Amino acid sequence: MKKIAEDVFYVGVNDRVSPLFENYIPIPEGVSYNSYLIKDETVALVDTVEAGFAPEFFSKLDDCLGERKVDYLIVDHVEPDHSGSIVQLLMKYPKMVVVGNARTLSMLEGFYGYLENTYEVKEGDYLNLGKHVVRFYMAPMVHWPEVMFSYDETSGTLFSADAFGSFGALNGGVTDTELDVSGLYGETRRYYASIIGKYGTQVRLALKKVSPLKINMICSTHGPVWKEAIPKIMELYDGWSSYNASRGAVIAYGSMYGHTREMAEEVARGLVEAGVRSVSVYDVSHTDVSYILSDVFRYRALVVGGPTYMNGMYPYVESLLEAVAHRGIKNHIFGAFGEFSWGGVVGKTLRQFAADNGMALVGEPVECKQGLTPGLREQCRMLGKAVADALA
Ligand code: FEO
């Protein structure tokens, strides 16, 4: 338990146990499930934690509350990493009123069964806790359709559900004023790319909605509480949600026997020789797609290569392309290269991918049949140079 503002407490937990978030995305640095308590004349809890961490969560609640009870549970997001402790919470506080919009309440009943005491809120409605007045702003699809933001007008705290969240457990502190968050922004971007990146339009609508508010503190459901870095995190969200990436390139390749890997090296060399310093090269068989996606949000060029495999794309390359397409990545330029032994399909498939996803294809895909030649190496370097020129 930690006090983060007058009457406002952090009661979240760290998950350093799960290897995968959503049983899918690697979290080598863990993740936090954040929950917040407003201790006023009445007591409101904002979101809970994943069910497996309920004992630690309840211990923090008890420390913070003493003999007092939770009067309201505000549910900004129903996904079970935040709602998972609701059943136990209701057993402990059976009179607790669950606060959410119509969709929230319907989804909660679907997950957990009948809720006896509920308070349904709509856009602009508020909850008066005594000194603190919490107003509600709907933020649909800032991950799930029921998501809403809760804004404590008294302390200037925006409870933002998954928005502004980050992978990475909280190492001893909670707020960005007590933690060194300089190394965390990569994980914040990977979180955005993995979880929210598909919903750039909805993120922008939510950002616009809260832009007139005086925000002293942003409390996401994951990662640090943002205080002094609010301008920075807002600026990053503005850029990511508008797909406004910087001058740089991601080269992602699949390779069975090394030919496309060597082609990737030549493309990277061509980019650097042409003056692009920000180049990330990934072997898709060895780097989880979330890390590559994160850099796709960071850099404006994406160059993809792979071997023809069973008359199609190499499986990990195909997974990456699917993930990129799902995010609706915009404003990117695209380069392609590939290798085949007897019948090449990579070039035309990648060309079609660029067309289908609104990416400007740079030059023609470079294709290698069987072995690399000096001429093909030069073509790869020229592809890198052409991508660099297109980035200028
Ligand atoms: Fe952290 Fe969408 O749940």
Walk along the chain (392 residues) and give the pLDDT tens digit of each residue: 799 999 999 999 999 999 999 999 999 999 999 999 999 999 999 999 999 999 999 999 999 999 999 999 999 999 999 999 999 999 999 999 999 999 999 999 999 999 999 999 999 999 999 999 999 999 999 999 999 999 999 999 999 999 999 999 999 999 999 999 999 999 999 999 999 999 999 999 999 999 999 999 999 999 999 999 999 999 999 999 999 999 999 999 999 999 999 999 999 999 999 999 999 999 999 999 999 999 999 999 999 999 999 999 999 999 999 999 999 998 999 999 999 999 889 999 999 999 999 999 999 999 999 999 999 999 999 999 999 999 99
Are residues 14 and 111 located together in one domain of the fold? Answer: yes
Task: Based on the fold, state whether residues 119 and 162 are members of the same structural domain.
Answer: yes
Q: Report the nearest-CA residue for atom 3 of ligand 1.
A: 79
- Domain interval for residue 251: 246-391
Centre of ligand 1 from the C-alpha of residue 187, in Å: 15
Residues 202 and 282 in one domain: no
How far apart CA 227 and CA 217 sit, in angstroms, is 5
Q: Is residue 82 lining ligand 1, measured as CB closer than 6 Å? A: yes
DSSP readout, 336-379?
EEEEESS---HHHHHHHHHHHTT-EE-S--EEEESS--HHHHHH
Angle between helices 259-273 and 374-391 (to 10 degrees): 50
Please, are residues 381 and 266 in contact by the beta-carbon 8 Å criterion?
A: yes
Distant-in-sequence, close-in-space partners of 387: CB < 8 Å, separation ≥ 6:
249, 267, 270, 271, 276, 301, 303, 333, 335, 362
Query: In terms of Cα–Cα distance, which of 282, 273, 289, 278 is closest to 380?
Result: 273
Q: Which residue among 194, 217, 241 closes a domain?
A: 241
Query: Ligand 1 pocket, 339 CB below 6 A?
Result: no
- Shared-domain flag, residues 36 and 124: yes
H/E run at residue 246? strand 246-253
Beta carbon of 280 within 6 Å of any ligand 1 atom: no
**Ligand 1 atom nearest to CA at 222:** 1
CA of 82 to the centre of ligand 1 (A): 7
Ligand 1 pocket check for 84: Cβ under 6 Å: no
Residue 271 and residue 213 share a domain: no
Together in a domain, 129 and 265: no
Out of 216, 241, 266, pick the residue that ends a domain.
241
CB-ligand 1 contact for 77 (6 Å cutoff): yes
Same domain, 165 and 297: no
- Give Cβ neighbours of residue 148 (< 8 Å, ≥ 6 apart): 76, 100, 101, 104, 121, 136, 137, 138, 139, 161
Same structural domain, 351 and 257: yes
Distance 221 CA to ligand 1 centre (A): 7
Tokens matching residue 97 = 């009123």
Q: Ligand 1 center to residue 87 CA distance, Å?
A: 18
Which pLDDT does position 344 carry in this prediction? 86
Q: Are residues 180 and 262 in the same domain?
A: no
- Which atom number of ligand 1 is nearest to the Cα of residue 33? 1
Distance 47 CA to ligand 1 centre (A): 11
> Both 180 and 66 in a single domain?
yes
Structure tokens at 223: 């990662």
Q: Is the CB of 79 under 6 A from ligand 1?
A: yes
79: CA distance to ligand 1 center in Å? 5
Assess contact for 31 and 3: CB atoms under 8 A. no
Among 201, 216, 241, give the residue marking a domain's end: 241
Identify the CATH number of the domain in which residue 258 sits: 3.40.50.360
State whether 177 and 220 are in the same domain.
yes
Domain count along the chain: 2
Which ligand 1 atom lies nearest to the CA of residue 221?
A: 1
Question: Which of 370, 334, 369 has its CA nearest to residue 355?
Answer: 334
**CATH classification at residue 146:** 3.60.15.10
Are 353 and 258 in a shared domain?
yes
Q: 145 C-alpha to center of ligand 1: Å?
A: 12
141 three-state secondary structure? coil
